[in-house]
């Protein structure tokens, strides 16, 4: 199979799966345009519920995504210079980082964003890892018997991402004024991720800007808490650990610099 054949197989498989679940669901004619096909595939993956899938689908999906990965600009964090000992800054798409683990700003159910092609980090990470990640996250939550608490974290495989692991953490959502409890919860997100990284022998962790954006935590204060918490953690650990603050927006880069 070439990439077009793989992509069409995946689209048709997911269309068929959805139509079996919902008789009112009708697959549209698949356009010939590559970009439109990719958008359809991403949308179907985003909307799919967490559940097992056939080995054939996984094999073809993994082949497809690994070939796509070869065409992307993957950045290895080993190339980064430190802003200060063991801490670096990088601007770009966190899903394109080759490192030990990237951090996902997750919801408490951990199963990712279901909005087709949404541009949040949760959606992007689940999109480019493959359908296995959502299923693994669902199994974790099922075993817990409850949602992931704010400030806590869990670690999973990264599947088709260039990193080795994904650290999922639930940051606080700000509904009115920022409180000390909100600040403590955000600091806990960073500590929980770093603890899990150390326990899992992860040597480098890339943090997104947890709780900013749709969670409405003020960017400046979020960065201050992130840097302060990481600095304190690194001072108190004997294991080697490289931390990367990953920013996407120019305003966040300016804050961290």
Tell me the pLDDT tens digit for each residue of 45-59: 999 999 999 999 999
Residues 143 and 219 in one domain: yes
- For every residue of the chain, which 3-state class applies, written as one string? CCHHHHHHHHHHHHHHHHHHHCCCCCCCCCCCCHHHHHHHHHHHHHHCCCCCCCHHHHHHHHHHHHHHHHCCCCEEHHHCCCCECCEEEEECCHHHEECCEEEEECCCCCCCCCCCCCCCHHHHHHHHHCHHHHHHHHHHHHHHCCCCCCCCEEEEECCCCCCCEEEEECCCCCCCCCCHHHHHHHHHHHHHHHHHHHHCCCCEEEECCCCCHHHCCCHHHHHHHHHHHHHHHHHCCCCCCEEEEEECCHHHHHHHC
CATH of the domain at 248: 3.40.220.10
Residues 88 and 18 in one domain: no
Q: What is the pLDDT of residues 181-207, one digit of tens each?
A: 999 999 999 999 999 999 999 999 999
Residues 51 and 132 in one domain: no
- Looking at the 3D structure of the chain, how many domains does it have? 2
Residues 165 and 82 in one domain: yes
Q: What is the pLDDT of residues 79-91, one digit of tens each?
A: 999 989 999 999 9
Residues 132 and 214 in one domain: yes
Residue 90's domain spans which residues? 75-256
Q: Tell me which of 70, 95, 110 is where a domain ends.
A: 70
């Amino acid at each position: 199979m070439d990439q077009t054949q793989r992509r069409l197989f995946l689209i048709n498989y997911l269309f068929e799966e959805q139509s079996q679940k919902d008789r009112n669901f009708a697959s549209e004619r698949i356009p010939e345009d590559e970009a439109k096909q990719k958008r359809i595939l991403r949308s179907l993956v985003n909307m799919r519920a967490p559940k097992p899938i056939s080995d054939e689908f996984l094999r073809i999906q993994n082949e497809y995504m690994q070939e796509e990965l070869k065409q992307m600009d993957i950045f290895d964090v080993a190339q980064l210079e430190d802003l200060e000992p063991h801490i670096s800054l990088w601007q770009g798409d966190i899903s394109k980082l080759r490192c030990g683990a990237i951090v996902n700003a997750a919801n408490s159910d951990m199963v990712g964003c279901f909005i087709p092609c949404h541009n949040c980090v949760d959606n992007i990470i689940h999109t480019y890892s493959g359908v296995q990640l959502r299923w693994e996250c669902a199994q974790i939550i099922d075993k817990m018997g409850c949602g992931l608490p704010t400030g806590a974290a869990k670690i999973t495989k990264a599947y088709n991402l260039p990193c080795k692991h994904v650290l999922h953490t639930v940051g606080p959502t700000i509904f009115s004024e920022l409180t000390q409890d909100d600040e403590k919860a955000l600091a806990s997100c960073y500590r929980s991720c770093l603890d899990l990284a150390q326990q899992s022998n992860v040597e480098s962790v890339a943090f997104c800007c947890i709780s900013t954006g749709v969670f409405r935590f003020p960017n400046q204060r979020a960065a201050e808490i992130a840097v302060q918490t990481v600095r304190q953690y690194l001072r108190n650990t004997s294991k080697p650990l490289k931390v990367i603050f990953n920013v996407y927006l120019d305003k966040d880069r300016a804050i961290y610099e």
